[in-house]
Amino acid sequence: MRVRVLGSAAGGGFPQWNCNCPNCDGVRKGTIKASPRTQSSIAISSDNINWLLFNASPDILAQFQRFPELQPGRAIRDTAVSGIVLMDAQIDHTTGLFMLREGKTPLDIYCTDMVHEDLTQGNPIFDVLGHFCGVSWHQIPTAVGHTFEVDGIAGIRLTAIPLSSKAPPFSPHRHDPHEGDNIGIQLEDTRSGKKLFYAPGLASIEPHLLPFMQQADCLMVDGTCWTNDEMQALGISNKLSLDMGHMPQSGPGGMIEALRPLPATRKILIHINNTNPILRDDSSERQILQQGNIEVAFDGMDFSL
Ligand code: MLT
Ligand code: MN
Ligand code: ZN
């Protein structure tokens, strides 16, 4: 299985258009060691021909341009995208769907009932797309252990794992969490037996997640904030990382501590907020990650499992 990071930043991207935090200002001016990043999405393939997208970020057109394999050019209109899995209904994970409206056939979209509800009510993207290419919805059941496959993506078995994070601000049930608002996904290559666990939004490591995280050869997990009050400390917003459904990396109960005992050979943080000091290649926080064998995803990161 090949994994390609299309976008590694959280909502807003890096730099964020209206932000002058030290990271955004520094990357804009070229005064810090850091690379710009687009919003959160990965693509996977088992044959290097057909690709499955995870999320459709508002930066999707730029992401496609930087990864020509998504455009094989076999016909006058063509795409290598076999389907799109949505991890939640958040703006940074779904609004890129509008950019795919020229599709010749309905978009094959895999998501839970809850995400389907948010994308037909709070932010009715699916209804709007009905006036263009249309959507062919494949329901992802949230029963733990349920596996599914995607047409065109041979030999990859997917398991959705409901997890605690947050429904989007526009969701009719933002403050009343429902199973399926957010999921993690285990991807198993049935030929090699290798397993990837992907969860860009993760508020806590609930007991039912642990077996999946323990089995994973590669973990790609929530890298949004270093500290819970990161945005408050910068005077940006009153929101805490956990209020937004993202567990911070540092400190007791943080992601670094959670990752430490896990046997995965690769541990990668993804969906990184522009305020996070780990975006600086030479920060002390980045050193702490390196000591824990934890990598920071970047746009264009590409590996096989
Ligand atoms: C989140 O992950 O919390 C949201 O994507 C934030 C956002 O869209 O601004
Ligand atoms: Mn997000
Ligand atoms: Zn910023």
First to last CA, the chain: 5
92 lines ligand 1 (CB under 6 A): yes
In degrees and rounded to multiples of 5, residue 62 shows phi and psi of -65, -35
Q: 299 falls in which pLDDT band (50, 70, 90)?
A: very high
Instruction: List all residues 6 or more positions away from 162 whose beta carbon is below 8 Å from its beta carbon.
Output: 112, 142, 144, 179, 180, 182, 183
Residue 145: pLDDT over 80: no
Beta strands in 105-153 (DSSP E): 107-111, 135-139, 147-148
How far does the centroid of ligand 3 lie from the alpha carbon of residue 134, in Å?
36
Q: 165 falls in which pLDDT band (50, 70, 90)?
A: confident
pLDDT at 166: 84
How far does the centroid of ligand 1 lie from the alpha carbon of residue 126, in Å?
19
Residue 144: pLDDT over 80: no
How far does the centroid of ligand 2 lie from the alpha carbon of residue 129, in Å?
22
Instruction: Look up residue 187 and give its amino acid.
Output: L
The Cα–Cα gap between 196 and 145 comes to 15
Considering only CA atoms, which residue is closest to atom 6 of ligand 1?
A: 11
57 lines ligand 1 (CB under 6 A): no
Q: Are strands 266-270 and 147-148 parallel, antiparallel or unpaired?
A: unpaired
How far does the centroid of ligand 1 lie from the alpha carbon of residue 183, in Å?
15
188 lines ligand 1 (CB under 6 A): no
pTM beyond 0.95, yes or no: yes
The Cα–Cα gap between 105 and 85 comes to 17
180-199, pLDDT tens digit by residue? 999 999 999 999 999 999 99
Contact assessment for residue 8 and residue 243, using Cβ atoms and an 8 Å cutoff: no
90 lines ligand 1 (CB under 6 A): yes
208-249, pLDDT tens digit by residue? 999 999 999 999 999 999 999 999 999 999 999 999 999 999
Q: Write out 210-240 in H/E/C secondary structure.
A: HHHHHHCCEEEEECCCCCCCHHHHCCCCCCC
- Mean pLDDT for the chain overall: 97
